[in-house]
Each structure stands twice: as structure tokens, then as C-alpha cells.
């Protein structure tokens, strides 16, 4: 069981660091959702099913939906897509 806890802790730390480094806002929201799901698994291991359910429902469910809707509302998803397309076209021009 100790190995599983260490693996989950490693994934938890990786999600925390990656979400702060990632520039794509949608990817950051999805990483945050995975952070909440991993935290929910940790609560299950710690034998706290009420906290695990709350973390899964609020952290991974409701918060993710609200953040994605906010990104859509402020047109951040289109901006990220345009930025990504510019990077790809610039990279394609470099390769030629």
C-alpha cells in the first residue's frame, strides 16, 4: 500500500507543478481536475469517503465545469487556439 501512496503523491506533486507552468488555460483546468481526482483517491486511502466524495464532486466536477464555462465566456479558448496555430505555423516555416 505504501507504494501506491507514493505514486499518488508523485502524481499530485506533478499535477501541482504542471498546472502552474502550463500556458494553455484549458490544459491547466484539466490538470487541476486530475489533481482533484488524485486527491479524492488519497482521501479514500485515508478512509475518509465523505471527503473523497466531496472532493470528486466539487473539486473535479463543479469547479471544472465552472472554469471551462468561464473560459468559454471570455473567449479564452479561441485565443489559446489562435496562439497555438500561430506557433505551429511559425514552426512549420522554420522547418522549411
pTM here is 0.76
1 grid coordinates? 500500500
pLDDT (tens digit per residue) in 1-10:
789 999 999 9
Q: Tell me: the pLDDT tens digits for 13-37?
A: 999 999 999 988 888 999 999 999 9
Residues, the chain: 96
First vs last Cα of the chain: how many Å apart? Answer: 52
Dist. CA 93–CA 48, nearest whole Å: 54
Amino acid at each position: 500500500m505504501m507504494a501506491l501512496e507514493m505514486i499518488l503523491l508523485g502524481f499530485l506533486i506533478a499535477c501541482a507543478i504542471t498546472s502552474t507552468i502550463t500556458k494553455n488555460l484549458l490544459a491547466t483546468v484539466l490538470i487541476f481536475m486530475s489533481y482533484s481526482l488524485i486527491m479524492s483517491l488519497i482521501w479514500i486511502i485515508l478512509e475518509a469517503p465523505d471527503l473523497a466524495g466531496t472532493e470528486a464532486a466539487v473539486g473535479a466536477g463543479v469547479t471544472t465545469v465552472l472554469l471551462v464555462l468561464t473560459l468559454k465566456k471570455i473567449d479564452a479558448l479561441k485565443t489559446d487556439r489562435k496562439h497555438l496555430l500561430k506557433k505551429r505555423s511559425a514552426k512549420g516555416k522554420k522547418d522549411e
